[in-house]
Structure 1
Amino acid sequence: MPPPRSSDPPAPAKNVLAELRRLTEPALEARTTDSVLPFGAGTLDRALPGGGLALGALHQIHEGGPRGRYAASAVLFAGGILARLDGPVLWCLHSRDLFAPALARVGLHPDRVVYCETWRDTEVLPAMEEGLRHRGLAGVVGELTRMALTPSRRLQLAAEGSGVTALVLHRVCAGESAEPEPSAARTRWRVSPAPSGSGGDRHMGRPRWRLDLQRCRGGAPGSWIVEACDAQGRLAVPTVLADRQAAPERPALRRAGGR
């Protein structure tokens, strides 16, 4: 038996190809024909070219906050985006901590997700690229610790060729690099927990996130306080914050003695 070619997908990716083919054939007819996906939040959509998130493109999402690796805001933000698209989702896992019921609460039912257990970045990237060739997918998600410029260009080209949206998730801890490397992604987002409302509504309603659009090709960066995705995957802007951007973040205070 000849050795596998270097272009062949890794074993975890091969194991899910048959499932992808089975799921994507009927989904091709149900694919949305829109080129963007609006968030339904006025100031946020106005910052994006075309009034929404570009489909058939690569987007980066990374978790903010001091416990970024263990938080789930970025994961739920990605789940809410995919919940509003037609078709199955290929999710390339970097660690076994994805909580399917939480994705279901933002509208992404587990029956729509094909999980590909690819534990290293060197396996996640080719698995994502292989998945992006399946036109019936709603999207391909890859959990990465880092993504260099050349692999990001490959993913962007694959997404453009198939029309399938690619989302790369970065989760980091305090003390690690908080900013991803330069990439070919169309947008780059940071999602962080935000304080809930004051007074009697502090413990009622949906959690709040701070969304930072750090980079947007052809658009304008900005920051917003939003209510987290609901059961249909939709964000909302709190009434008291409508048409207002989030205040700039304060720099971290130094300890006494200048340390």
Structure 2
Amino acid sequence: MPDAADGRDDRLAGMRRQLDDLACKNIVRQRTLPFGLSALDASLPAGGLRCGGVHEVGEVGPSAEYAALSALFAAAVLARLHGPVLWCLRGRDLFAPALVGVGLAPGRVVFAETRSDAEVLPAIEEGLHTRGLCAVVGEVARLGLTASRRLQLAAERSGALVIVVRRHRTVAGREAADDEPNAALTRWRVSPQPGAGPPLSGLPRARWLVELTRARGADTPLSWILDAPDATGRLRLPADLADRSLAPPQRRPRARVG
């Protein structure tokens, strides 16, 4: 019987060849990728997401295990970069048309499907050793301190943006990912909010609660209610919230004595 390690080496070699075919020799490396929203960019030390670093995004609630909104958040970020992307995942549940809806063209993405969650992190690191990639995405349930440090060092050497999509279960009413320390530069959480509607053509955009729960060199946590990404990958402050004046403070009635 063939050794399992040999099969894994064959898969990595095949992935290397595919990435080399797509690699852009003249890719322009960006140091920072701004969101284009002053509220978000001003809250980040670099004025946006730092390239050559690891960023983590998760989801809130029972849907956290499927991480649909987290994947859309990641895809919208990648849509504003130039060059090929490696997306590492364990299963085939990623809905490609939804990625197109937030601006990430399928021709830019190489999907690396692994047999287990444990093989995703090595696939991310292997991708970071490939020249020409602008970003690498990996979907994992856990991201420990040692593994995240390895990814951070590899990202710094390559200059590529790394987004780790956390697919975790809610434990005792709390998000397990919030309690796990790692070396990611930023940690984001995305959850749906009552809004205008789903992100479909001709209909108003959905609404998200975007939370920055941790960032090196920034005062956190912070949160914003935003319209979901458009076809160019850009988030937007809802017009009905942006133009709303602050509600006057309510005075409490004084308690009567005697």
* Unmatched segments (≥5 aa) in structure 1: 245-259
Aligned pair count reads 234
Identify which range, 189-198 or 55-64, moves more after superposition: 189-198
In structure 1, the residue corresponding to 2:211 is in which secondary structure?
strand
Partner of 2:120: 124
Same amino acid, percent of matched pairs: 50
Alpha-carbon separation, structure 2, partners of 1:105 and 1:190: 20
Q: TM-score, normalised by structure 1?
A: 0.83
- Rounded Cα–Cα distance in structure 2 between residues aligned with 1:115 and 1:133: 16
What residue in structure 1 maps to residue 181 of structure 2?
182
Q: Deviations over 1:169-198 (max 9, x none)?
A: 112334376142100000001111111059
2:191 alignment counterpart: 192
Structure 1: distance between partners of 2:131 and 2:219:
30
Identify which of 79, 85, 88 aligns with 1:83: 79
The structural deviation recorded for 1:243 is: 9.2
Relative to 1, partners in 2 of residues 1:42 and 1:138: Cα closer, same or farther, differing over 3 Å? same
1:41-190 residue pairs with structure 2 within 5 A?
Answer: 41-175=37-171, 178-180=175-177, 181-190=180-189
Q: Whose radius of gyration is greater, 1 or 2?
A: 2
Q: What is the deviation of 1:122?
A: 2.0
Q: Deviations over 1:90-145 (max 9, x none)?
A: 11112210011110111111111111111323211111001011231121111101
**Secondary structure at 2:168's aligned position in 1?**
coil
* Gap regions ≥5 residues in structure 2: 245-258
Does 2:26 match 1:29? yes
C-alpha deviation, 1:89, in angstroms? 0.7
Q: TM-score w.r.t. structure 2 length?
A: 0.83
Write out the 4+ residue segments of structure 1 that deviate beyond 4 Å after TM superposition: 3-6, 8-11
Inter-partner Cα distance in structure 2 for 1:153 and 1:10: 23
Distance 1:50 1:117, change over 3 A: same
Distance, in Å, in 1 between the alignment partners of 2:141 and 2:231 is 29
Asked whether the 8 Å contact 1:135–1:163 carries over to 2, the reply is: no
1:56/1:166 contact within 8 Å kept: yes
Please give the secondary structure, in 1, of the residue aligned with 2:62: coil
In the TM superposition, what whole-angstrom CA distance separates every residue of 1:177-234 from its partner, at most 9, and x where no partner exists?
6142100000001111111059xxxx94111111110110112321011111111111
Q: Which residue of structure 1 lines up, in the alignment, with residue 252 of structure 2?
A: none
Partner in structure 1 of residue 205 of structure 2: 206
Question: RMSD over aligned Cα, in angstroms?
Answer: 2.5
Change (3 A) 1:194 1:10: farther
Shift of the 4–72 alpha-carbon distance from structure 1 to 2, 3 Å rule, reads closer
SS at match of 1:49: coil
CA distance in 2, matches of 1:154, 1:243: 44
The amino acid that maps onto 1:75 is: A
SS in 1 for 2:147: helix
